Structure 1
């Protein structure tokens, strides 16, 4: 997997595509499947019946790379700080089945703006942007994953199921955990996030996801209405 595509690496050049060029590498018939052994996974305890109000089923079959496709999975930070929206769209269009959304979020997520100490440095938090205090050097992010998915949905023009695959089925495929994580199917772990999709209030016509509930192994662990 390519970690944080485009960040701290040589940019795309028309004669030397660099790391980004691996996303467009022609498939080879020598790509072997490499499932992760799952025997050590815990068996979930019996749980009450799941009856959420709204559930967006991202997929009932986990997408994976086609046999012979050696292109890597890759992580994108969809925060408009590490990457420009157009860069996100180009990368996803090149290799959609390998796209995994990540946050690069630090422990300052949810805290007020200000200056905080971390690992011997002073970090300035301004919205979702984190920089070394007194500089413009990026020091991470404080965006949430669901905000990244909302950004991705609006920037790429993909469908809701396609956006959700980038944080469910595709990461599971990268880990070799198809049928256990990241999908809604018989035998899979009931780790679920119940979402609403709302139109943003700024009149832009863009949509954003809102988390209503979180379920772990079929047990509700958080509800915004509780």
Structure 2
């Protein structure tokens, strides 16, 4: 995502725009795994346009495999906690944060209520 700029506000400008055509709703995804998105960015997005927020996880298939080396297709990864690296390096291969942890992190970062958050998560499955 490009940073906010006063001449080209990007997604921030879109989410706060009052010029959307009637009946149009904007949805946007946020990864709230504690690695990809700063808690302040989660708060800003949630406050700017909560009704369009869709929580997503960037989890790769190593989710649930536990610490150690694992082969995923042609790539060998090393799992350490909630992060997977290309084996033998510190190059991020992906997150292995499950959705329930993402939800808890989001709730903590935003001060949102459980009901509000459940609606956000359900939108992903419903739409």
Alignment TM class, shorter chain as reference: 0.7 to 0.9
Aligned to 2:107: 153
Indicate conservation of the 8 Å contact 2:4/2:10, yes or no: yes
Residue 124, structure 1, aligned to residue 104, structure 2: no
Larger helix fraction of residues: 2
Kindly indicate whether the alpha-carbon contact (under 8 Å) linking 1:106 and 1:140 is maintained by their aligned counterparts in 2.
yes
Q: Look up the match of 1:26.
A: 18
Distance 1:140 1:91 in 2: 23
Q: Give 1:69 shift.
A: 5.3
Q: Give, in whole Å, the separation in 2 of the partners of 1:172 and 1:111.
A: 24
3-state SS of paired residue (2:69): strand
Q: For residues 178-216 of structure 1, give each alpha carbon's deviation from its aligned partner in whole angstroms, at most 9, with x where no partner exists.
A: xxxxxxxxxxxxxxxxxxxxxxxxxxxxxxxxxxxxxxx
The residue that corresponds to 1:17 in the other structure is 9
Q: Which residue is 2:124 aligned to?
A: 171
CA distance in 1, matches of 2:63, 2:32: 15
CA RMSD of aligned residues (A): 2.0
Give the counterpart of 2:90 among 131, 135, 150: 135
Do the aligned residues in 2 keep the contact of 1:75 with 1:99 (CA within 8 Å)? yes
Deviations 1:8-39 (A, max 9, x none): x32223332223432122243x3xxxxxxxxx
Aligned partners of 1:22 and 1:119: how far apart in 2? 38
Partners of 2:57 and 2:77 in 1: CA distance:
17
1:103 aligns with 2:57: yes
- Asked if 1 retains the 8 angstrom alpha-carbon contact of 2:61 and 2:72, the reply is no
Q: Is the 8 A contact 1:131 1:139 kept in 2?
A: yes
* 1:124 positional shift: 2.4
Give the CA deviation at 1:143.
1.1
Q: TM-score, normalised by structure 2?
A: 0.84
Show structure 1 runs of 5+ residues with no match.
1-8, 31-67, 176-226
Contact 1:130/1:139 (8 A) holds in 2: yes
**Equivalent residues, number:** 126
1:78 maps to 2:32: yes
Q: 1:124 to 1:160 in 2, by over 3 A?
A: same
Distance 1:165 1:95 in 2: 14
